[in-house]
Structure 1
Amino acid sequence: MESFVYEDEMIFLQHCTDISPDSADFPMHAHEYPELVYIISGDIMFWAEGTPYCLSPHDFMLFNAAETHKVQILSPRPYERVVLQLKKPVFSYIDKDNRLLAPFTSRKLGEGNLLKAQDFTYGNPEDCILKMINRAEEQRLAVFSYLLPLLYTIYVAFSSLPQAPKSASDKISAEILRYVNENITLSLSPESIAKRFFISRTTLYSLFKETAGCGVTEYINIKRLLMAKEKIISGEKPTNVFGQCGFNDYSVFFRAYKKRFGLSPKADFENRI
């Protein structure tokens, strides 16, 4: 994998290429921050909260924090992309209502994730993002100089985006995922979810594997852990957080948290400032 990385306290920016991509290297996952992926090349499909998106070069994919997604490689063409994660509101002084983040945060999960080249009638987002990664000198200045027009161009395009119709199976999957997300802090199990939607556990498992890219329990745990991390870095004590996020046992929560994030809940709490 070839890679360029710029990172500071505000953003994470990466340009990378997988010469021989494999779907196994891109399992279902979610991030702590809003994320943008710009496709330069590759024959791929993105799944976002159960919704499939076939992508072409020059397409943009948008994800909110904790919005699960995975990449399915359709052929062995090199997969090249630019990834941008927004750790903090960068332009809060001029964007007091956080409208620039609306394309990431003001969507239903798995809906409106894709912006195609023809959706942009204002500005040139491709030019912005390529200039962000191609300035060796004054890198930080270049990154932030082009970040504002990039986000504004995406905001304008997103505001005009039509709603695409869903198939019957997509609707069922979306309803199940929406139910899980709306009740993530409550007692959830594959059995209770299958019973609520009048399907078998086998069917439920197949739907999750096909659309979310993982099993039911793994999906629930990822969502709960991301919620817990957000609360912890906001200043809430881990011993109070685990129960608020659907965990019944602190030791189980501790092990799962450390496995996923590489740090214990206490370490994240102490390092939050």
Structure 2
Amino acid sequence: MDKQIQRYINNHFLMVHMVTDIPSDVTTHLHDCYELFYFIAGDLTYYIEGQAYELRPHDIIITNSRELHRIVFNAKCRYERKYIHFKPEFISSFQTAEYNLLSYIENRKLGYFNRIPAEDVLEYKLNELWEQIEQAALEPAPENSILMKALFVQMLVTMNKVFAKYDNPLGDRHKNHKYDHKIVKILDYINNNLDEKITLNVLQQKFYVNKYYLCHIFKMNTGFTVNEYITYKKIMKASELLMTGMTALDAAHAVGYGDYSTFYKAFKGITGYSPKQYFRK
């Protein structure tokens, strides 16, 4: 059962602090915004695009709107976390030609450098900034909406300083996520060939690995099944094409679906909307 402790919301910003006594796995999903996830307590593995992050208290996980992720719980103990969902519009007035607040969130290779480890969170006082944002969000004073946004921008700037440090050769403490190099190549292939029909047989022939063994190691490394990952990625790409004005039929063909009814079913299953409804939304 979830207990929601704090919450603040407007059109482009959502802040939540939640506790779950008996957690259950979080299925594969993505957001139409950016997510900052602050881990407080629990025993879980956070899977993002082929990387598996074993979290410790005060770790922060960052995902953008293109990164598939899911959570698998290693034990059913008390699970506490905070998270912020925000859209670029929330801080657009602070963006300049010289400095992009979202550069590291947007431009990382998918599934890489998603974690800010606890020691950096505490050293750079990201935990204190988070608490100040929460406090400003909860108090009704009229100036606090401005203060909250200013503090949030300060936190993004601080995170960018941490990410800039990660561009240097990484120490072992930043390598505590595990991955299989073959799986990384397969993920890259899938993401670069969404316009083609990608099947287990195709991957088996291209990467010289038995398809049944591939299913096993793919699930073990990514937390997703092969077909689940391919379908999500194709539908995500199709949704982007729909927003450019492309017809649903053309979008289906553009992501390798020869049968529109199969595409329609997959699209609605993942987004909750038909292609036409999604475009209108």
CA contact (8 A) 1:28 1:212 kept: no
Greater mean deviation of Cα atoms: 157-166 or 144-153: 157-166
Match of 2:16 among 14, 17, 38: 14
Q: Does 1:258 align with 2:268?
A: yes
Identity %: 26
CA distance in structure 1 between the partners assigned to 2:260 and 2:145 by the alignment:
41
Q: Out of 248-257 and 186-195, give the one that drifted further.
A: 248-257
Which residue number in structure 1 is paired with residue 251 of structure 2? 241
Unpaired segments ≥5 residues, structure 2: none
Q: How many correspondences in the alignment?
A: 269
1:131 aligned residue: 132
**Quick one: which amino acid aligns to residue 150 of structure 1?**
M
Take 1:12 and 1:126, find their aligned partners in 2: how far apart are those partners? 17
Summarize deviations over 1:142-191 as a string: whole Å, max 9, x none: 54232111111111101111445699962121111111111122221111
Find the partner of 1:156 among 134, 154, 161.
161
1:75 and 1:121, CA in 2 relative to 1: closer, same or farther beyond 3 A?
Answer: closer
Whole-Å Cα distance in 2 between the matches of residues 152 and 167 of structure 1?
A: 25
1:66 aligns with 2:66: yes
Answer yes or no: is 1:147 the counterpart of 2:147.
no
Using the TM superposition, give the Cα deviation of residue 69 of structure 1 relative to its aligned residue in structure 2, in angstroms.
Answer: 1.7
Per the normalisation by structure 1, the TM-score is 0.87
Q: Report the RMSD for the aligned CA atoms in angstroms.
A: 2.5
Change (3 A) 1:243 1:145: same
- CA displacement 1:114-150 (0-9 Å, x = unmatched): 1113235874221222233344223744542321111
Amino acid at match of 1:72: V
Give the deviation of 1:242 after TM superposition: 2.0
Separation of aligned partners in 1, 2:83 and 2:192: 28
Alignment partner, residue 104 of structure 1: 105
1:238 and 1:269 in contact (8 A); partners too: no
Q: Secondary structure, in 3 states, of the residue corresponding to 1:27?
A: strand
Matched-pair contact (CA < 8 Å) for 1:33–1:66: no
TM-score (norm 2): 0.85
Distance 1:96 1:246, change over 3 A: farther
Please name the residue that 1:181 is paired with.
191
